Structure 1
Amino acid sequence: MILDNRGLEPPQPMIRTLAALDELAEGQTLTILNDRRPMFLFEQLDERGYLYLTEQQNDGSYRVTISRKAG
């Protein structure tokens, strides 16, 4: 699943991302696209037990792929 949060002002990208994670089925990943690096989201992901990979894109936006830790 891909969630495009570009063009939204904080805290909307984080709210949308956390809501999408609540709907994520076991084994699925969520990819988000953000205008800026989602620093406060990382804290939430760590607390909830998610793994994530962050990649800065050529246009300066960020792509974050999120999945649950195994076990």
Structure 2
Amino acid sequence: MVYTYTLDMGETRISVSATTVEFKPEGGGTKMIFTEQGVFLDGHDTPALRKHGTKEMLGKLGVQLEIG
């Protein structure tokens, strides 16, 4: 899966990203490889903030997949 997106704060664009997500069989499950390349504008967003948010989001997805 490949996608791009922008993140805006009001009228100000603060980042632009290109992301790839790969799924590969591994053992009895699936390994996900998530790669995001970002351009962070004007210091409103940072790689550390993005990493934190992405980890939170993927963690919640993992919980939902375990329940489902």
Structure 1 length normalisation: TM-score?
0.27
**Greater RCO, CA 8 A, separation 6+:** 1
Specify the structure having the higher radius of gyration (Cα): 2
Structure 1 or 2: more strand by fraction: 2
